[in-house]
Amino acid sequence: MIVEQKLSQDVFSDVNKAFTKQSMIYDSYEENNKILAWMRKQVHKAALSFLKKDDTILELNSGTGTDAVFFAKKGFRVLATDLSDGMINEINRKVKLENLSAEIEVMQHSYTELNPIHNRKFDFIFSNFGGLNCVSDLNLVTKHFSSFLKNNGIVCLVIMPPVCPWELIQLLRGKIKFALRRFNKSGLPANIEGVSFYTYYFSYRKIMNALGPNFKLLKLMSLGVFTPIPQMEVFQNKFPRLLSFLNSLDEITAGYFPFNRIGDHIIVIARYSVETKN
Ligand SMILES: C[S@@+](CC[C@H](N)C(=O)[O-])C[C@H]1O[C@@H](n2cnc3c(N)ncnc32)[C@H](O)[C@@H]1O
């Protein structure tokens, strides 16, 4: 395993601080959150349907490495990258614990500063659970993609869009600011473990525009239109049967218009082709 340390950009220093604090409790929170666990399962299903045997994966904002470990155990080789000191420590700890150093390589990089790995090509770029919502301009990340992807390589990006029904419904309870918060174009202050930083929400059109003309949309899916947002943990304890019904409703409708472009997150899967489309 190569562990490369790179100084985080100043602009992301609060993001680093926040996620470093969160890294200690990140996995245990998910273990007790059925909604998050269901969401991750849907992402894995979607990603696996486009991965081929022996594919190499570049993972952006890999957090504690849950997905990297999942893919490695399925036989894929993963370069896991993240900005946060704490998250990088967690991935390294897991790689060692699970004896996966041949399958998972770990590098500490902001996804806006990936120049040091420009000489490498991957089959699949993966970013899960809104890591890309921490950047104000997606182009700062997607500009790297053509140099990292092999021809016909795939990107699978799981990003929070502006329209989230479970947040909008709060309008009925008079919580106007909360309900409309994702529409704030200048960003929304997020607070994780007492550290504030800005987050930004992207429609699938904005995501496709940032990818550019060499990317063709293969699949667009919602993640959590009927299923409540993961922060509504109380729902899973009070109404477990209703929750599994809503999960099923989401699984049936996730790929269809108009559901596929709204939700807590959306999954965008696109193929890169070196031929320029005019
Ligand atoms: C909500 S967590 C998601 C983690 C992981 N993908 C998962 O599915 O559990 C967001 C992650 O994005 C990372 N992140 C935020 N800004 C980043 C940046 N500029 N470059 C790389 N990683 C970043 C954070 O450190 C954090 O690990």
Q: Which atom of ligand 1 is nearest to the CA of 12?
A: 19
In sequence order, the 6+-apart residues with CB closer than 8 A to the CB of 278 are 213
In sequence order, the 6+-apart residues with CB closer than 8 A to the CB of 249 are 226, 227
Most ligand 1 atoms within 8 A of CB, residue of 82, 112, 198 to mutate: 82
Distance 275 CA to ligand 1 centre (A): 31
For the CA atoms of the chain, what is the radius of gyration? 18
The protein residue whose alpha carbon is closest to atom 20 in ligand 1 is 110
Residue of 209, 238, 221, 257 lying closest to 44 (CA atoms)? 221
Q: Which atom of ligand 1 is nearest to the CA of 59?
A: 6
pLDDT value at 107 more than 90: yes
Residue of 91, 81, 229 lying closest to 141 (CA atoms)? 81
What are the boundaries of each domain within the chain?
3-272
| Yes or no: domain 3-272 corresponds to CATH 3.40.50.150 | yes
Q: Which atom of ligand 1 is nearest to the CA of 130?
A: 1
pLDDT of res. 118? 77
Per residue in 42-53, pLDDT tens? 999 999 999 999
Helices and strands in the chain, H and E counts = 12, 10
The protein residue whose alpha carbon is closest to atom 10 in ligand 1 is 131
Per residue in 191-220, pLDDT tens? 999 999 999 999 999 999 999 999 999 999
